[in-house]
Amino acid sequence: MEKNIVASQIKAGNRLIDISNEDKILFPKSKITKGDIIDYYLKAADILVPFTKDRPLTVRRFPNGIHKDNFYQKNTPEYYPDWIDRIPVEKSDKSVIEYLNCKNAATLVYMANQACIELHPWLSQLPNLNNPNKLIFDLDPSTTNFDLVRETALVIKDAFEEHGLAAFAMTTGSTGLHVVAPLKPLVNFDHVRDFAKYLADELVSQNPKHLTTEIRIERRGKRLFLDYLRNSWSATSASPYGVRAKESAPVATPIFWEEVKSKKLTSQKYNIKTVLKKLESDGDPWKNFNKNRVKLKV
């Protein structure tokens, strides 16, 4: 008797994507399979793809599950299909990285089948790769004190608004939060990063006991790290609606500021089983993200 090895296929957009090993368990404790991740990304594509389209994308792949060897992938292998779009970017040594452009549901599903769990896009977008069109304050706690993260996010929201920036909040699905401001892509990464560092240092000076911009973990102590370095050339950060490689498959989730005020909030509050239901029932907290792009003033 011949074994049935006919690969299954999934329709994404107007393409049929070959799927392999959909029952392979990638999250052993929570028993989540590669098929579950593919299914999530297919359903999330409409809300997710606008955050990855036309941005160089680094992906993090876990072919043998989240507790086994994994790797970041920047270059897109030659053997990926022609219809997968690439964004060439010159490195400092003049060699070129062919970054993936995750511009449609088919690409997202193809990558999910590659055991790609995490998505880390750039902060800039074609045709302005040199100039970020968002600014991110990445809040990385050194302890489990999430109240400090929430309260600091609210302080940053006020600071952004004092500088004419709109502020949007997101759980990262790991330990912290992001506060994000949409920008017009008018100035380069160094400029935006310098502004972020200036503002971060300002906040640290107002609360030096609990906040820090120290890069060395050892020097942070128990303070909350204000990671302004996300706003650097070629730096990436977790994509909205992207899955994190942690048990239960938490999802980086745009949230309302009212949620940030709640003690019940955690970084991993939403996951692949809950995030799209939340979006459906509560609406899109970042609905106006693209309507609030402003020029950064120093």
Site residues for Mn ion per CB under 5 A: 138, 140, 176, 227
Residue 113 binds which entry of Mn ion, DNA, none, CB below 5-8 Å type-dependent: DNA
Residue 113 engages DNA in binding (rule: CB under 7 A):
yes
Contact partner, 13, from DNA, Mn ion, none, Cβ < 5-8 Å per class: none
Which is closer to Mn ion, CB of 98 or CB of 138?
138
User: In terms of Cα–Cα distance, which of 248, 249, 270, 246 is closest to 67?
Assistant: 246
Question: What residue type is assigned to position 243 of the chain?
Answer: V
The answer to whether 112 and 35 have CB atoms below 8 angstroms apart is no
Shortest gap between Cβ of 279 and DNA (angstroms)?
Answer: 25
Give least dist CB 131 to DNA, A: 14
x/- binding map, residues 17-46, to DNA, per CB under 7 A? ---xx--x---------x------------
Dist CA 223 CA 141 (whole Å): 7
Q: Which stretch binds DNA (CB under 7 A): 128-136, 210-218, 251-259, 266-274?
A: 210-218
Q: CB of 235 within 8 A of CB of 265?
A: no
Residue 13 Rama label (left phi>0; alpha psi -120 to 50; beta) = left
Tokens of 246: 């942690």
Residue 267, interface with DNA (CB under 7 A)? no
The span of 47-55, 151-159, 226-234, 286-294 binding DNA (CB under 7 A) equals: 226-234
Least Cβ distance, residue 90 to DNA (angstroms): 9
Between CA 62 and CA 172 the distance in angstroms is 19
Among 103, 150, 223, 230, binds DNA (CB under 7 A): 230
| Antiparallel, parallel or unpaired: β 211-212 and 224-227 | parallel
Member of 162, 218, 281, 291 binding DNA (CB under 7 A): 218
- Residue 257 CA, chain-centre distance (Å), reads 19
In the region spanning residues 54 to 93, those forming contacts with DNA, defined by CB under 7 A, are 58, 61, 63, 69, 71-75, 77, 79, 91-93
Coil vs helix vs strand at 278: helix
> What is the closest distance, in whole angstroms, from the C-beta atom of residue 176 to Mn ion in the complex?
4
Of Mn ion, DNA, none, which one sits near residue 176, judging by CB under 5 to 8 A according to partner kind? Mn ion
What is the residue type of 248?
S
**Spatial CB neighbours of 128, under 8 Å, sequence gap ≥ 6:** 185
Of positions 217, 261, 287, 290, contacts DNA by CB under 7 A: 217
Return d(Cα 254, Cα 48) in angstroms, integer: 11
Give the residue ranges of DSSP H helices in the chain. 34-48, 105-113, 146-162, 189-206, 217-220, 257-260, 275-282
> What residues line the site for DNA (CB under 7 A)?
20-21, 24, 34, 58, 61, 63, 69, 71-75, 77, 79, 91-93, 97, 113-115, 138, 140, 189, 193, 215-219, 225, 227, 229-230, 232-235
